[in-house]
Each structure stands twice: as structure tokens, then as C-alpha cells.
Amino acid sequence: MKLVLLGAPGAGKGTQAVRIAKNQGIPHISTGDIFRKNLKEETPVGLTAKAYLAKGQLVPDGVVVEIVRLRLLEDDCKNGFLLDGFPRTLAQAEALKAIAAPDAVINLDADLDALAKRLSGRRVCGGCGESYHVDLGSPEVCTKCGGAVIQREDDKAETVAARLLVYKAETAPLIDFYRAEGLLVNIDGMQDIDAVSAAIRQALRRL
């Protein structure tokens, strides 16, 4: 199945994507993770993306689309994929349609005012990318891989505010776009993590 996970910063895309990918046996492709990995390794893509990530702005469409296009050509995407954080603009959505049209788009519907709190309390594993939250008892060492648990650079208050504004202006219109395409599956992202997962599994079974 070719799936897209749509949602505001902090809506729970990464958290749910790991579970969906495992359940469906498809690769989890997060453009944000790809940029952070490139940044860490100081590749040309990482250097291009650096300033955008730091400001909470979007990396230019051409750069992102090319990365996704190449990633979707890899062998493990033959039986489907789960995109997390892509598309984020109408131009990216149109590009994806031409490359590999999705079968369904899961929108994690969240209250934007609550997300700043989720993001400022988020901690992530520098090794495997697992997400934690200080309110849910974030460990210092990852329980999955033993890596150090750190705060993401762009989870500082000023950058979080910028990311939410960019989401409203650029990405939220994709909800209507995919509704019009008949692909939208809306899920209440404000329930607890397990309830969100259960709702997604149920919705996918009905497809």
C-alpha cells in the first residue's frame, strides 16, 4: 500500500509511522529524518537544508521532490511505502501524484494550540530516532537502542512557532486537496498514542 501521513508538526506522524510501517511491512520514509541525517553527515543536501531546518522553513520543493523520487525507486518500495512529512506543499503533492500516486492519505487531525507543548517536551533518540516526551517519562538513554536521548534543534519555542505558521500556510491546504481526490482518511490525533494507532489500523482495514 502507498500511504501518506499528513499532519502538523507534533501531530504524531513519526510516532505512528513507526507502528504503521511495521504492521504493513512497508518502509517508513521521513523527509525530516533524511534531512537530519544529511545534516549530521554534512553532505551537500545537508548543507542546503541546514538554514531551512534551523528557521523552521520548508526546504525548496525541487530539492525535496528529487530526494523522494530517488528514494521511491529503491527496491524496498516495490510493495508500497509510508511517507511521513511529504508532501508538504501543493507542488509536492502534484509531483508525488506523477511519481507514485498514493492509495490513501492519513491525516492526523490535531489542535494546533496543543502542539507547541508536545514539541517543546519532545525528546528523540540520536541513534534510532525513537520519540519520547518528558511528560510521559522520557529516559536519558533510549530503551530501543541505548542511544543518547536529546532535544531536536528545531523544538525550541521560536522555531516551533515558525513551523506551525508554515504548516498553516503551506501544508494545511493539502487536507482539502486530498479530500477532493477521495483519498483522505481523517484520524483524531488528540487521543492517546495507542488509541490513535488503533483508529489508523481500523481505517486501513476498511480500505
Active site residues: 13, 88, 122, 152, 163
Q: Tell me the three state secondary structure of residue 30.
A: strand
Nearer to Mg ion, 13 or 163 (CB): 13
With beta carbons less than 8 A apart as the criterion, state whether 133 and 122 touch. Answer: yes
Alpha carbon distance 183, 101 (integer Å): 10
Regarding 32 and contact with ligand AP5 (CB under 6 A), the answer is: yes
50 binds ligand AP5 (CB under 6 A): no
Identified binder of Zn ion from the candidate list 68, 125, 160, 184, rule CB under 5 A: 125
Contact 24, 204 (CB under 8 A): yes
Distance of CA 194 to the CA centre of its chain: 18
Task: Please report whether residue 92 would count as binding ligand AP5 according to CB under 6 A.
Answer: yes
Q: Are 21 and 27 in contact (CB under 8 A)?
A: yes
The residues, any chain, with a CB within 8 Å of residue 184's CB and separated by 6 or more, are 105, 107, 175, 178
- Quick check: 14 binds Mg ion (CB under 5 A)? yes
Q: Which of 80, 46, 86 is nearest to 64 (CA)?
A: 86
Residue nearest to Mg ion (CB): 14
121 touches Zn ion by CB under 5 A: no
- Name which position in 84, 130, 154, 170 contacts Zn ion (CB under 5 A): 130
Residues in the chain: 207
- Nearest distance, CB of residue 175 and Mg ion, angstroms: 18
How far apart (Å, rounded) are the C-alpha atoms in residues 105 and 144? 28
Q: Is 105 in the site for ligand AP5 (CB under 6 A)?
A: no
And the C-alpha cell for 37? Answer: 541525517
Amino acid of residue 100: A
Find the binding residues for ligand AP5 in span 52-71 (CB under 6 A): 52-53, 56-59, 64
Residue 134, contacted partner among Zn ion, Mg ion, ligand AP5, none, CB below 5-8 A by kind: none
Q: Under 8 Å CB-to-CB from 109, ≥6 apart: which residues?
A: 7, 11, 186, 187, 188, 189, 190
The reply to whether 122 sits near ligand AP5 by the rule CB under 6 A is yes
Residues 140 to 159: which contact Zn ion by CB under 5 A? 142, 144-145, 147
- The contact set with Mg ion (CB under 5 A) reads 13-14
Q: Which residues bind ligand AP5 (CB under 6 A)?
A: 7, 9-15, 31-32, 35, 52-53, 56-59, 64, 85-86, 88, 92, 118-119, 122, 131-133, 154, 163, 192-193, 196
